[in-house]
Every structure is written in structure tokens, then in C-alpha cells.
């Protein structure tokens, strides 16, 4: 699966993701049913947030996949009624995401560790064998959880990465 981006577009998108992007994994707890034991499910994703809807439409067109939605901002004493609406572009398809991250990796600066972790996660997931029954995926769960936790730490908000 190849992306139709030239070098300039690739570098621009990598910079945009470094500044406005989030590379991560979501964790879902699947409930127990009569046919399946309770389990955790991990899903890789990329989010790009911006108040300019049109730029996210451009990114979606550039990548040929994903979806855009409006984000409801939390009300606080600091927010004003005249704030711009917020939007997010989200890409969740693993094959497309892997291809994109491989393409962007040399151009990323701030999110290179997150990129490496998610590429590792995607490669583990692609090579995992499908096992059915109560022990389905038991071997990859510990690795997936470890990558999930590392990404949570890297993506944590705050001044932890600021120079001292």
C-alpha cells in the first residue's frame, strides 16, 4: 500500500503531526459473554486536532482514508463563548496507519518514539496468529499492554519534556 505524497507533502504532514498530532493506542475492555471470556482489545490510531476544518479535509484527501469529527470542548471559567470549534481527523486502519508511519518516520522529530512504538505494535499484531477460545491472544496481550503503557507515558500532557 503506497501513499501518493511527494517529499514536500510528506515533510509538511510530519511537521503537522509533530505539532498537532497524537499517535497512540486505545484499550477496550470486552465484556464476557456465553461464547467468549472477558478480554482487553488494543487498537492503534492517529489523531490530528485543529480548529481549521479545511486543513483536516486536505489531510484526509491526501491520505485517502480516515474520518473527521467535531470535538466538544469542556466548559471552564477560562473558556470564552467566541472560541473556534475544534475538529479531529482520525485514522484507525492498521495497514494504512503502518504505511503512513513508515513514510513519515524519517521526518518526525517530536513523535519519533511514539511512531516507533506504534510500528512495533502493528508488526506484532500483523504477525500474531489467530487463536480461538479462552486463551486467545494471551501471548501478545502482555506485549501490547507494555506498548500501550509506554505510549501513555510519552503522550502525557505537561512540562515533563521541557528543558530545565
Q: Kindly state whether residue 162 falls inside one of the protein's structural domains.
A: no
Q: Kindly state whether residue 39 falls inside one of the protein's structural domains.
A: yes
The DSSP bridge partners found for residue 138 are none
Per residue in 68-119, pLDDT tens? 999 987 666 555 566 778 999 999 999 999 999 999 999 999 999 999 999 9
Q: Kindly state whether residue 161 falls inside one of the protein's structural domains.
A: no
Q: Are 14 and 108 in contact (CB under 8 A)?
A: yes
Q: What is the pLDDT of residue 151?
A: 93
Per residue in 131-142, pLDDT tens? 555 555 445 668
Q: What is the pLDDT of residue 16?
A: 95
The DSSP bridge partners found for residue 41 are 28
Residue 20 maps to which CATH number?
3.10.28.10
The C-alpha angle with vertex 57 and arms to 92 and 9, in degrees rounded to 5, equals 85
Q: Kindly state whether residue 143 falls inside one of the protein's structural domains.
A: yes
- 47 in helix, strand or coil? strand
DSSP β-ladder status, 21-30 and 39-50: antiparallel
Q: What is the pLDDT of residue 130?
A: 56
Q: What average pLDDT does the segment 136-159 reach?
A: 78
Residues spanned by the domain of 134: 7-154
Q: Kindly state whether residue 130 falls inside one of the protein's structural domains.
A: yes
Q: Kindly state whether residue 131 falls inside one of the protein's structural domains.
A: yes
How many domains does the chain contain in total? 1
Amino acid at each position: 500500500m503506497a501513499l501518493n505524497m511527494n517529499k514536500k507533502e510528506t515533510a509538511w504532514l510530519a511537521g503537522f503531526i509533530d505539532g498537532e498530532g497524537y499517535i497512540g493506542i486505545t484499550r477496550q475492555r470486552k465484556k464476557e459473554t456465553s461464547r467468549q471470556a472477558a478480554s482487553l482489545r488494543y487498537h492503534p490510531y492517529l489523531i490530528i486536532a485543529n480548529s481549521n476544518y479545511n486543513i483536516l479535509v486536505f489531510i484526509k484527501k491526501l491520505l485517502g482514508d480516515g474520518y473527521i469529527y467535531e470535538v466538544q470542548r469542556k466548559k471552564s471559567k477560562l473558556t470564552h463563548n467566541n472560541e473556534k470549534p475544534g475538529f479531529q481527523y482520525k485514522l484507525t486502519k492498521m495497514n494504512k496507519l503502518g504505511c503512513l508511519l513508515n513514510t513519515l518516520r524519517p521526518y518526525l522529530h517530536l513523535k519519533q518514539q511514539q511512531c516507533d512504538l506504534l510500528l512495533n505494535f502493528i508488526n506484532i499484531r500483523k504477525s500474531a496468529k489467530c487463536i480461538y477460545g479462552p486463551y486467545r491472544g494471551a501471548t501478545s496481550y502482555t506485549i501490547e499492554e507494555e506498548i500501550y503503557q509506554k505510549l501513555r507515558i510519552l503522550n502525557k500532557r505537561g512540562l515533563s519534556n521541557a528543558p530545565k
